[in-house]
Structure 1
Amino acid sequence: MADPATASNVGVVNIQINRGHIHFGDDATENHAAGRNRFVVGCVLRNAAVADPAVPNPKIGQKPWQRFTARHHAAIDVQASENILVANNRLPASGDDNFTMNGYVLTGRNGQAIEIDGVVFDYDNRPGIYVNHYSIGGAGGSGNDGTPESHPYGFRKGIVIRDNYVFNTGRMAIGFCGDGVECRNNVIRFADNVWRPTTTGQAIAAGSSTNDNRAIEMRGWRWIVDGNDYIVHRNWAADRKYKMNDGEGLMHEDHVNSTIVDSVLTNNRGNSYLSLYKTGGIDGLLVEGNEITVTQGAAIYVNADRNSGRHPVRRVRIVNNTVAGGGILLSGQPSEQCVVRGNKNRGGTPVTIELNADADLSDNQGFEIRKPK
C-alpha cells in the first residue's frame, strides 16, 4: 500500500500465491497508525517464508550461501485500526521447495563455531497468520501489563479469524492481539518428528530452546477462541535426544501481554494443553466444552500467579470439558466466583484437579482433587 497509515477498504480475495506472502502493514511508528477495513479471504499460499536478513552472519564464520527462515515473518500478516477479516484461507504443506544445506556453521554451546550437516531451509517453519500481533506489556512476568491506555494499538476491535487451514513444521500457526477478537473454526496441523538443529539460524538448538511451536497465541482482552481443531508437535533439538521447550495448544502467556478479561475458550479440540500461563490476573474467563488430550502435564492450565507472587483470579468457569492424559489446574489468590464443574476424564488413569484457588467443585468424573497444604 502506498500509505499504510490511511489505506482502508482493501483486501485480497481468492488468489493463489507461490513464493510470496500477504502483508497489510501499519506506518511502522510507535503509534502503529493503520487504515481500517482490511481483509484476506479465500487465498492459498505455499512457500511463504522469507529469508532472515541476519543470516549469514560473517561474525560467527557463516558462509555466504547459508540461509534461514525469518522467525517472525508470517505468511499472512494484517494490521488495521479496526475491522479485519481473515477467513477461508489455506496454507498447505509447501512440498518439494525446501532445500538442505550441509556444512552449515552454527555457534555451539561453548561459543565455538561448529559445522552441521542436514540443516533445512524449511518454508513451513514460519508463523502462519498474524493479525494485529503486537507486543504489549512487559516481558516475561515483569509486570507493566498492556492496557488500552498504555498500548491502544493492542486493543483494536472488529477482528475475525475463522475457517482457515494452517500447516506448520514450526513457529506459531495463528497469533493475534485486540479487544473482542473472534478466532473460530480454524484447522491447524503441525508435522511430527521434525529435527530442528537451530531455531535462530545462528545458534545450535538444545532441549531448553524454543521454536515457539504453538497453535494459537492470544493477546488482549475479551477474545473468543471457539471450535478450533489443532495438532501441535515439538521439534527435536540438535542432539536428537530431547524435544524443545514449546508445543503449547491455545496460549495466553505473561510475555508482552495483558491480563485476561472476560475471555472465552470453548469447543476446541486438540492434542496440547490450554495454557493460560502466569497471566498476572484473570477477571472473567469461560473454559467450556473443550476436548483436550495430552501425554504429560495439565490438559487445562489456568494460572493467574507469577513467579514473583500471587495474583487474583475472579469469575473463572471451567465446565463440561473432556480431558485425557492430563488434569486441570486453577491457581490464583484472591479468588472469587470460580467454578470447576462437570468435567470428565476419559483416560484410563486418574488425573488431578489441582486447586490453588477457591472454587466450587461438583460433578467432575475421573479426577483426584489436590489442594496445597
Structure 2
Amino acid sequence: MQAAQCGSKSGGPQDNPVAALYGNGTYPWADQMVNWSCVYNVKDYGGKFDSAQKAAMSNGGGGVVFYPAGSYTFSSNIMIDSHIVIRGESTGNAMAKKGKTPGPLSPKTVFHCPHGEHIGIFNNDPKGMNFGVVNVELDGCAIMFWPALKTVSSYNLKTYWFEATDVEGMGSNKLVLGNKIHDVTYQHPDPDDKSNKIVWPWRFSMALASYSDNNTLVANNLISKAEKSMKTTVNFGNKSMTVTYPTDNRYGIDVNQLFLGGVIGKYSGKQCPPEPGKLTPSCAPWYFRRGLVIRDNYVYMNGRVGVSWSGGGDGKTVGSGTQLYNNHVEVAAGTTCWSVTGSHIATGHDTNENRGYNQQGFSNNLTMNTGHINRQKAADSGYMTVDGEGILHQAAGGNDGLRNLWYKNDLSGGSTGYLVYYKLFNVENNQLLENTAAKGFTIGAVVDANHHNVAHNTCKDNHPSCTGM
C-alpha cells in the first residue's frame, strides 16, 4: 500500500530492487538512498519527468519516479535531482549476463534518444547524492553521473576532459541497476567544432559513467551490441571511402577514471610528488575513493575500453578498494578500425585500445571477471591495432600498483587478452591467483630495466605462470 504522505495515485512497485537482487544489508546505503515506497507514476503528471520529480521533492523529499512499461521519447537530457531514482517496470531478477554471453535482461520500459547526440540521464547537481536509474532500456541514451570539476563552465563533453584543473566534489550514493543500454555515441569527432561535417564517433563517448566521492553500485547492466546501422563517408586526403559507422566504438562503463584525465595531467609532477609515486591518496584523494562496486555487467564494445575505474582501499588490506565481480567484456572480433578521429586513416600506434579492463588506484579486487578481447584490422593494411589487454594497470594513469587482488579472472577465448602491470614504478603486495590469459599472452609485470620496484607480490596457479613478478 502506498505511504499516505508520499507518492501519486497510480503508484508503482514499492520493493527495494537492490535488496531483491542482492539481499537486505548487502549495500546498506542503497537500501536507504530513497524511500522506495514513495512512488510517483509519471503518467499521473502527463508523462512529464520534471513534473513528477518536482512533486517527489515537494511532497516527500524525494522518492521513485516510475515509468510503466512502454516507450518514451526524449529530445534533450533528463536531469535528475538528488534523492530521486528513475525506475522502469520490474524485470524480476533477470540477469544481464549468462556466463560469457548476454543474459535475458530485457526491460519493458524503453527510453528513446536521438541517434548520435549522446544525450541521456544526467545529474542536476554534480555534488548531489542518492540518485539512480533502475530497470530501463536506454536506446541511444547514455547514463552520465558527472563530478564537479574546477574551471568547468558548462556540461560540454570535451570541456570535461581537457580543461579541468581540480575536482571540487563528486557527490555520493549513486545506483545504476538492471538497465539495458545500446546505440550510444556522439556522432561528431570534436564536440566543440560545430563546423566540422565529418560524421564519426567522438573517441570519448561512453555508455555509462558514474563519479562518486563515496558509494557507487553499477550492477546487472547489459550494454549490448548496437541495434541500428548506418553508413558514413570519410575522406583521408585523396582517399574517400564509405564504411559502416562504428556505433560501438565507445567506452562501456567508467567509474571515477576516464574523465578525470585532464585533472590527472595537471596534478602529476605538480600538486602531486614527481615520479616515482605520482598520484597518491594524500595529494589526489578523488582518485582513491571508497565504496565503488561494479558487478554482474555485460559490456559489448568495438575498439575502446570495456570497464574503466579507479579507487582506493583502507591503506593496508589487499583487495579492500573498488570491487569488480563477475563482469564480462566482449570486444568485437573481425572488425576494422578505419580511423580514430575520422580525419585520417588508422595506422601505426594511432589506433584503438581494444581493452577489456583498465584500472587505476590502489587495492582493487577483480574476482571472476571474464572477457573475449580482440584486436581490429587497421584500415586496409595488414596491421592489427595495438594494445588488446585483458586487464591493465599502466603508468600513464599516474599511480603505482599496490595491494590489488586479481583472482580467477578468465580472459581466454579471444585473439588477445593479457593481464599486466605496465611500466609502473612500484608494484608491491599484489596477489594474482588462478587467472587465465588468452592463448599465447602473459600475466605479470612489464617494467623498464632500471628504477622500478617490484616486490612482495604473490603469483600462484595462473595460466600461464606469472612473469616479471
TM, length-normalised to structure 1 = 0.78
Could you give the per-residue CA deviations for residues 228-250 of structure 1, whole angstroms, max 9, x where no partner exists? 11011111112331101111110
Alignment pair present for 1:54 and 2:199: no
Which residues of 2 match residues 198-347 of structure 1 at below 5 A? 198-271=339-412, 272-295=417-440, 298-303=441-446, 305-306=447-448, 309-323=450-464, 328-330=466-468
Tell me the secondary structure at the aligned position of residue 356 of structure 2. Answer: strand
Alignment pair present for 1:126 and 2:256: no
Conserved 8 A contact 1:88-1:164 = yes
**Hey, what's the Cα distance between the residues in 2 that align with 1:226 and 1:57?**
42
Aligned-pair CA distance for 1:56: 10
Conserved 8 A contact 1:55-1:201 = no
- Alignment-derived partner of residue 4 in structure 1: 125
- Alignment-derived partner of residue 226 in structure 2: 94
Aligned residues: 311
Which residues of 2 match residues 177-188 of structure 1 at below 5 A? 177-179=310-312, 180-188=321-329
Aligned-pair CA distance for 1:328: 3.5
Conserved 8 A contact 1:138-1:255 = no
- Counterpart of 1:287, as a letter, is L
Aligned-pair CA distance for 1:161: 0.1
**Hey, what's the Cα distance between the residues in 2 that align with 1:74 and 1:162?**
18
Aligned-pair CA distance for 1:55: 7.2
Structure 2: 5+ residue stretches without partners: 1-79, 82-123, 151-165, 313-320
Q: 1:202 to 1:210 in 2, by over 3 A?
A: same
Structure 1: 5+ residue stretches without partners: 107-112, 332-373
Q: Which has the higher helix share?
A: 2
Q: 1:114 to 1:280 in 2, by over 3 A?
A: farther
Aligned-pair CA distance for 1:142: 6.5
TM, length-normalised to structure 2 = 0.63
**Hey, what's the Cα distance between the residues in 2 that align with 1:310 and 1:286?**
22
Could you give the per-residue CA deviations for residues 307-333 of structure 1, whole angstroms, max 9, x where no partner exists? 7x321112111101123xxx63215xx
Alignment pair present for 1:165 and 2:298: yes
**Hey, what's the Cα distance between the residues in 1 that align with 2:275 and 2:381?**
33
Conserved 8 A contact 2:130-2:174 = yes
- Alignment-derived partner of residue 170 in structure 2: 34
Could you give the per-residue CA deviations for residues 23-44 of structure 1, whole angstroms, max 9, x where no partner exists? 1111132124121100100000
Q: Which has the higher strand share?
A: 1
Conserved 8 A contact 2:411-2:437 = yes
**Hey, what's the Cα distance between the residues in 2 that align with 1:119 and 1:310?**
46
Tell me the secondary structure at the aligned position of residue 255 of structure 1. Answer: helix
Q: 1:48 to 1:189 in 2, by over 3 A?
A: same
User: Identical aligned pairs, as a percentage?
Assistant: 26
- Counterpart of 1:329, as a letter, is T
- Alignment-derived partner of residue 117 in structure 1: 241
Q: How large is the RMSD of aligned CA atoms in angstroms?
A: 2.3
Conserved 8 A contact 1:205-1:237 = yes
Could you give the per-residue CA deviations for residues 202-258 of structure 1, whole angstroms, max 9, x where no partner exists? 221113323121000000000011101101111111233110111111000010231
Tell me the secondary structure at the aligned position of residue 75 of structure 1. Answer: strand
For structure 1, which segment, 47-56 or 165-174, has the greater mean C-alpha deviation from structure 2 after superposition?
47-56
Aligned-pair CA distance for 1:73: 2.2
